[in-house]
A and B are shown apart, each in its own frame.
Chain A
Amino acid sequence: MALSALYPFFTSLSEQTCGDTMTDAPTSQTAASSAAEARISDAAHTGPMLAADGTPLKKSLNRALRLQKMRALALIAPLLIFVLVTFIAPIADMLFRSVENEIVSETLPKTTSMLAEWDAQGTDIPDEAVFEALYDDMFFAQEAKLHTRLGSRLNYELTGVSSLFRKSGRRVEDMGEVFQDQFEDLDDFWKTGENWNSFMASDDWLAQMDGWKKADGAQPRFEMRDGIAQTLPATAAAYARFADFIQYEDGDNLYKEDPWAIMYSALHKDLTGENDLASYTGPATEQLTAAAAEAAGFETVNYTEAFKDIDDDWHNLEVWQTIKVYSPTLTNGYFLNAIDMQKSVDGVEMRPENQQIYGILFWRTMVMSIAITASCIILGYPVAWILANLPTRQANLLLILVLLPFWTSLLVRTSAWKVMLQQQGVINDTLVWLGLVATDDRLALINNQTGTIIAMTHILLPFMILPLYSVMQTIQPSYLRAAKSLGATNWTAFWRVYFPQSIPGIGAGSILVFILAIGYYITPEIVGGTSGTFISNRIAYHISSSLNWGLGAALGAILLAAVLLLYYAYDKIVGIDNVKLG
């Protein structure tokens, strides 16, 4: 696989001295410049030392240094910007998604602000005002088809909300029709969009819309008539949202669009509540006054009951608690989910025992990565030893056997393991042929943890062998001989003399293998079945199948934190700076 570029990387361990070449440069330069300083001071003796152009030498040197720095940065800048845009920004975006929760307050703006005052710990469901706000929000949400998205979002927290929202979206439209029918029965004036526009819209806009056709290009933006917002506040607010939606979401001709049912309930509210209709002098004064006189006698809707009619769940305390708990625009809910906890009105608590899956999954990822790292050490150590102790020519030949799998496509190696480990695969067939295993008793080597560990040990083994090899090359064989000549047994000589010197290699190799192992996706996906998968597979599942992106992002953020911690450790032990110098 391509990660074999790390090969130069490993050799860095043995060639750390190369770093000196880099640091040599400035030293020799300083030496040269101080010699120059000395010469200048010999000549001048007094005053600050001057460069050839008459500026003080110190200043001139500083300027040169600054220029050098700028040039270096200018060379790096294109790539840095490229990586920041194509790689770092996406990661930052993912991290943001793990806490982002705007959908609740965006879809139900009124409801969530009303719910702020509701006592979630109590035993009462919210009052009529909240239900009325919910009707408002739901009406617009279902017109924009946003209610199902919100439903699936809240369904992650409370099962059943998704169907509740879908069902309510279909029927919330009917609620306002009670008012619509009564207004329309009262006067045909209320039936058409033209009539509504005649008093809701400004004269300017009406003039522009006169005779406007789609072919004329962009529709003039809707303008509210001056003063109407004071006269009919609820209606004006609803109409503004309606106009915006029709003009910019649907792209229809607003002038001809008949208003939604919600406009009638809003109008009813304005006409029966406080208003200064008496001082209103605009168009349709007559109709408005007439309607105002009748409105008080209209049949009204009890939203609390109407929602209960749609579904009893609207009177379920848990639904409201969930909406309230998840109304802030930022949430730690996904992260809590990712560590098997949940938010409730009483604060944060552990999920019920039978819903705790991520703790187990993180633990399994850890344990299996440690098992893979350990088997890489066990298999890699002898190989690195023999490579380091054979004559160069033979060692180079054997090194090809290590590098070849390293260079081979990851999918090729994974498919090879799939072929070999299957029930009817090469290994089982051989074992059966040799009679070591009965035909109906074949070993289960794939689609479980064994499969993942075997395949990943093979795939990651070169990452252990190469750093170990480069460290072992630097260990003098004479130390071992000296220990033996002083009377150490083979084992003592190895354990007390050789092994301690090879620990840096083990450290570098282990961190590298571990970093790569905990983030692996492809191999566990193909050979891991259900019991041998890692946290990465779960992340992929949430992003491509369950579409719970927030949770996937939160799991990813935790994994990323673990990897970055190890990356930092690797940097400390091996040094990212040395990496490039290898």
Chain B
Amino acid sequence: MVALTPISRTEPSFYVSVTAAFGAFFGIFIGTGQGSLIAGVLGGAILMAVLALVLTKVIKNETVSRWAITVLIALGGLALAGIPGLLIGIFFGWFFGFLIFWLYEGRYRAKIPPYLTPMQVLWHFAFRTICGAIFVFLITPILVVMPLSFNAQDFFTFTPEMLRFDPAGYSLKHYEDFFTNDAWQDAMKNSLQIAPVATLLSVAFGTLAAIGLSQPHVPFRRAIMAVLISPMIVPLIISAAGMYFFYSRVGLQGTYIGVVLAHAALGIPFVIITVTATLVGFDNSLTRAAANMGANPVTTFFRVQMPLILPGVISGGLFAFITSFDEVVVVLFVGSAGQKTLPWQMFIGLREQISPTILAVATILVIISICLLTVVELLRRRSERLRGMSPA
């Protein structure tokens, strides 16, 4: 974004007091950590005010000043709390160095409209801070799980060794447990046996139906749609209870086929939604042209329609796969010990707190999710490109 507002250096009364306010705020944490709140607040405020003045009025050179403050605060952190303190100190040093010059040079005004009042400028940044905090809320749980999975202890929290970045505090033993423990390996195998078959069923039936639903004249389209989407809307516990009763009656409860059928039913809405979304942009004159040139419906489907809607079909399939791969409620009821899947094993582990192997599994699953997310995103773009190419 280009600069909107001409900027100029600000008065010391402004930038020194704002920096002091930040210093006071972060001083609270250091103060309470060291036992005295008031000392922390006052110390933080005074230290930062003095630093701001010294850096801008005495040293003046920005690069030198920022290195100086970073090193200074980092050393302070090291003295107070060791290695973790050093890292936090480096971060704060960098932050305050940035903050002081950002305020002093007036850069904070550069990218916001010139007509905003000071209060509006304050709100602008406060709002971004709030949003930043919400993003942190969204992402933290995932970021916390990853380092914890390398814990050398059987704890669900950071040990002092981990915080000191002592290599002895880290190990791969939970991963080792995952790859050598029979219970986990069986669960993994079951998951991998159930999900692909369920996916195949959902995709085969779902794609066919999605093509049917996208025809111009479909009687009862609304009602059919409502029925087909319902597995996604009905609470899982109700689906699970119903399937448990019904599948026991017909002898499918506790069998591999029962679980596969149940998961296929749950995956269908996702296939329907993604494939019909892809078909919206599909140009029907292409199939007519193919027919015109003598292709029979099957050839037309595989040679003309299928390649164009393939991205949608694949992402629908991935959704169906992850639905089955992630599903725990239905399999708890419909399956028996022989169909224990990965999520089921994790669920047991969480309820009974057996071992932090769960965290290692969780990390592996997060990595799988990232891969799938990337694939789906790429497919979506490709699909849009394909649709853009075909004449609308």
Give me the interface of A with B, judged by CB distance under 8 Å.
1-6, 8-9, 18, 21-22, 25-26, 29, 65, 68-69, 71-76, 78-80, 82-84, 86-94, 97, 379, 382-383, 385-386, 391, 398, 400-405, 407-420, 422, 424-426, 429, 433-436, 458, 461-462, 490, 515, 518-522, 525-526, 536, 539-540, 543-544, 549, 552-553, 556, 559-560, 563-564, 567, 571, 576-577, 579-582
CB-based contact A29/B229 at 8 Å? no
Question: Which of chain A's residues have a CB closer than 8 A to the CB of B134?
Answer: 379, 382-383
Question: Which of chain A's residues have a CB closer than 8 A to the CB of B284?
Answer: 25
Question: Does B308 have its Cβ within 8 Å of any Cβ on chain A?
Answer: no
Question: Which of chain A's residues have a CB closer than 8 A to the CB of B201?
Answer: 82
Q: Which of A434, A521, A580, A581 is within 8 Å of B235, CB to CB?
A: A521
Q: Which of B135, B145, B319 is within 8 Å of A2, CB to CB?
A: B319
CB-based contact A519/B236 at 8 Å? yes
Contacts A78-B205, A419-B157, A580-B272 supplied; 16 other A-B pairs, CB < 8 Å: A4-B319, A5-B270, A18-B280, A25-B216, A87-B230, A88-B227, A90-B246, A94-B245, A383-B135, A402-B138, A409-B343, A522-B329, A539-B241, A563-B235, A580-B277, A581-B280
- Determine which residue in B140, B156, B227, B233 has the highest number of CB atoms from chain A within 10 A of its CB, and name it: B233
CB-based contact B145/A93 at 8 Å? no
Given A382-B130, A411-B328, the answer on whether A87 and B265 have CB atoms closer than 8 Å is: yes
A163 CB, min distance to chain B CBs, angstroms? 27
A233 CB, min distance to chain B CBs, angstroms? 36
CA distance A518 to B238 in the complex (A): 12
CA distance A90 to B128 in the complex (A): 49
Stretch at the interface among B67-75, B89-97, B361-369: B361-369
CA distance A553 to B228 in the complex (A): 22
CA distance A132 to B278 in the complex (A): 71
CB-based contact B265/A82 at 8 Å? yes
- Determine which residue in B34, B217, B239 has the highest number of CB atoms from chain A within 10 A of its CB, and name it: B217
Q: Which of A4, A73, A94, A518 is within 8 Å of B219, CB to CB?
A: A73
Given A72-B212, A556-B238, the answer on whether A522 and B347 have CB atoms closer than 8 Å is: yes
CB-based contact B359/A415 at 8 Å? yes
CB-based contact A412/B365 at 8 Å? yes
Question: Does B269 have its Cβ within 8 Å of any Cβ on chain A?
Answer: yes
CB-nearest residue of chain A relative to B238? A556
A28 CB, min distance to chain B CBs, angstroms? 10
CB-based contact B145/A412 at 8 Å? yes
A-facing residues in B104-134 (Cβ within 8 Å)? 120, 123, 127-128, 130-131, 134
Question: Which of chain B's residues have a CB closer than 8 A to the CB of A75?
Answer: 208-209, 211-212, 215
CB-nearest residue of chain B relative to A543? B241
Instruction: Give me 27 A-to-B residue pairs in the complex whose CB atoms sit less than 8 angstroms apart, sorted by A's number.
Output: A1-B326, A21-B280, A22-B214, A26-B216, A72-B215, A72-B217, A73-B219, A76-B213, A78-B209, A83-B227, A84-B227, A90-B247, A93-B249, A379-B134, A382-B127, A382-B131, A385-B131, A401-B135, A407-B373, A415-B358, A435-B35, A518-B235, A519-B234, A522-B329, A556-B238, A560-B234, A576-B229
A-facing residues in B17-40 (Cβ within 8 Å)? 29, 31-35
Question: Which of chain B's residues have a CB closer than 8 A to the CB of A556?
Answer: 237-238, 241-242
CA distance A418 to B141 in the complex (A): 10
Given A86-B261, A412-B145, the answer on whether A521 and B230 have CB atoms closer than 8 Å is: no
Across the A-B interface, the 8 shortest Cβ-Cβ residue pairs = A519-B235, A75-B212, A435-B32, A416-B141, A90-B242, A90-B246, A580-B276, A79-B209
CB-based contact A79/B205 at 8 Å? yes
Question: Which of chain A's residues have a CB closer than 8 A to the CB of B217?
Answer: 26, 65, 68-69, 72
Question: Which of chain B's residues have a CB closer than 8 A to the CB of A93?
Answer: 242, 245-246, 249
CB-based contact B224/A521 at 8 Å? no
CB-based contact A419/B144 at 8 Å? yes
Question: Which of chain B's residues have a CB closer than 8 A to the CB of A426?
Answer: 144, 148, 157-158
CB-based contact A91/B32 at 8 Å? no
CB-based contact B362/A416 at 8 Å? yes
Question: Which of chain B's residues have a CB closer than 8 A to the CB of A567?
Answer: 226, 230, 233
B238-258, CB under 8 A of A: which get 1 and which 0? 111111111101000000000
CB-nearest residue of chain B relative to A428? B157
- Determine which residue in B238, B247, B358 has the highest number of CB atoms from chain A within 10 A of its CB, and name it: B238
CA distance A5 to B203 in the complex (A): 14
Question: Which of chain B's residues have a CB closer than 8 A to the CB of A386?
Answer: 127-128, 131
CA distance A423 to B333 in the complex (A): 31
CB-based contact B32/A436 at 8 Å? yes
CB-nearest residue of chain B relative to A93? B246
CA distance A84 to B323 in the complex (A): 19
Question: Does B262 have its Cβ within 8 Å of any Cβ on chain A?
Answer: yes
Question: Does B273 have its Cβ within 8 Å of any Cβ on chain A?
Answer: yes
CB-based contact A408/B32 at 8 Å? no
CB-nearest residue of chain B relative to A29? B216
CB-nearest residue of chain B relative to A525? B351
Question: Which of chain B's residues have a CB closer than 8 A to the CB of A560?
Answer: 234-235, 238
A-facing residues in B299-316 (Cβ within 8 Å)? 316
CB-based contact B265/A83 at 8 Å? yes
Question: Which of chain A's residues have a CB closer than 8 A to the CB of B144?
Answer: 416, 419-420, 426
CB-nearest residue of chain A relative to B272? A580
CA distance A98 to B35 in the complex (A): 61
Question: Which of chain A's residues have a CB closer than 8 A to the CB of B212?
Answer: 71-76
CB-nearest residue of chain B relative to A391? B1
Given A408-B366, A582-B277, the answer on whether A94 and B272 have CB atoms closer than 8 Å is: no
- Determine which residue in B130, B140, B246, B325 has the highest number of CB atoms from chain A within 10 A of its CB, and name it: B246
A-facing residues in B259-284 (Cβ within 8 Å)? 261-262, 264-265, 268-270, 272-274, 276-277, 280-281, 284
Question: Does B77 have its Cβ within 8 Å of any Cβ on chain A?
Answer: no
CB-nearest residue of chain B relative to A68? B217
Question: Does B370 have its Cβ within 8 Å of any Cβ on chain A?
Answer: yes
CB-based contact B219/A69 at 8 Å? yes
CB-based contact A69/B218 at 8 Å? yes
CB-based contact B238/A91 at 8 Å? yes
Question: Does B54 have its Cβ within 8 Å of any Cβ on chain A?
Answer: no
Question: Which of chain A's residues have a CB closer than 8 A to the CB of B351?
Answer: 525-526
B382 CB, min distance to chain A CBs, angstroms? 15
CA distance A8 to B280 in the complex (A): 12
Question: Does B139 have its Cβ within 8 Å of any Cβ on chain A?
Answer: yes
CB-based contact B156/A419 at 8 Å? yes
CA distance A490 to B244 in the complex (A): 56
Question: Does B225 have its Cβ within 8 Å of any Cβ on chain A?
Answer: yes
CB-based contact A415/B362 at 8 Å? yes
CB-based contact B242/A579 at 8 Å? no
CB-nearest residue of chain A relative to B260? A86
Question: Does B79 have its Cβ within 8 Å of any Cβ on chain A?
Answer: no
Question: Does B169 have its Cβ within 8 Å of any Cβ on chain A?
Answer: no
Question: Does B350 have its Cβ within 8 Å of any Cβ on chain A?
Answer: yes
B152 CB, min distance to chain A CBs, angstroms? 16
Given A8-B277, A25-B216, A412-B362, the answer on whether A405 and B138 have CB atoms closer than 8 Å is: yes
B24 CB, min distance to chain A CBs, angstroms? 15
Question: Which of chain A's residues have a CB closer than 8 A to the CB of B225?
Answer: 576-577, 579-580
CA distance A498 to B100 in the complex (A): 35
CB-based contact A549/B245 at 8 Å? yes
Question: Does B289 have its Cβ within 8 Å of any Cβ on chain A?
Answer: no
Q: Which of A71, A411, A435, A571 is within 8 Å of B343, CB to CB?
A: A411
Question: Does B142 have its Cβ within 8 Å of any Cβ on chain A?
Answer: yes
Question: Which of chain A's residues have a CB closer than 8 A to the CB of B218?
Answer: 69, 72-73, 76
Question: Which of chain A's residues have a CB closer than 8 A to the CB of B138?
Answer: 401-402, 405, 458, 461-462
Question: Which of chain A's residues have a CB closer than 8 A to the CB of B43?
Answer: none
Given A8-B273, A382-B131, A521-B329, the answer on whether A418 and B280 have CB atoms closer than 8 Å is: no
Question: Does B322 have its Cβ within 8 Å of any Cβ on chain A?
Answer: yes
Question: Which of chain A's residues have a CB closer than 8 A to the CB of B269?
Answer: 5
A399 CB, min distance to chain B CBs, angstroms? 10
CA distance A478 to B372 in the complex (A): 38
